Amino acid sequence: MNFKNSSFWIVAVIAVVFDQLTKRWVISVLDSWVMRTEKGAPTQPLIPGIFHFTYIQNTGAAWGIFSGEGWLRWLSLLVSVGLIAIALFGPVLSFWERLGFGFILGGAVGNGIDRFMLGYVIDFLHFKLIDFPVFNVADVSINAGLVCLLIGYFRSKPNPARR
């Protein structure tokens, strides 16, 4: 059986599973974390002052924008349905498109599960060195997907210097 865009589906499923497993792990170890941030969020330094696991319930989007907006769950669903439609009904995608759209779908579904089941997204990866906003594996997947799409775009674009 030859399933169209199969690596798209594999990447998406792996991204969702890894995202959800890491979030469940953070919740399971939360009670054992004794250190708290200045905002009261449980945190566990891996490299003190540089990288921490910090538990945050994010009701917004990236960097907490649109906090408390219920429509974000529907946006996650809409993006997911759109990507599924592209993979099912669109053409055979290039390697980089399959990876890119697969990662983006995995991230959208991972955060969408949180939004629908919990009403917020669990964020826990925190680069304190640059005080970067706390994020999660689904966010990493979405960004990895965008990088893959950019790589695919530039690799497929003819190079005028080669003429």
Contacting residues for 143 by C-beta, under 8 A, at least 6 apart = none
Residue type, 38: E
In a domain, residue 83? The reply is yes
> Which range marks the domain in which residue 28 is found?
6-162
Whether 1 maps to a domain, the answer reads no
Domain assignment present for residue 61? The answer is yes
- Asked if residue 105 is part of any domain, the answer here is yes
Catalytic residue among 19, 31, 123, 131: 123
Domain assignment of residue 118, yes or no: yes
- Report phi then psi at 14, rounded to 5: -60, -45
139 is catalytic: yes
Q: Which of 136, 141, 161, 155 minimizes the C-alpha distance to 53?
A: 136
Active site residue 123: yes
Domain count, the chain: 1
DSSP 135: B
**Options 19, 31, 114, 139, the catalytic residue:** 139
Q: How do the pLDDT tens digits run along the chain, 163 residues long?
A: 357 888 999 999 999 999 999 999 988 887 676 566 656 678 888 899 899 888 889 886 665 655 666 677 788 888 889 999 988 898 999 999 999 999 999 999 999 999 999 999 999 999 988 888 899 999 999 999 999 999 999 987 666 665 5
Model pTM score: 0.84
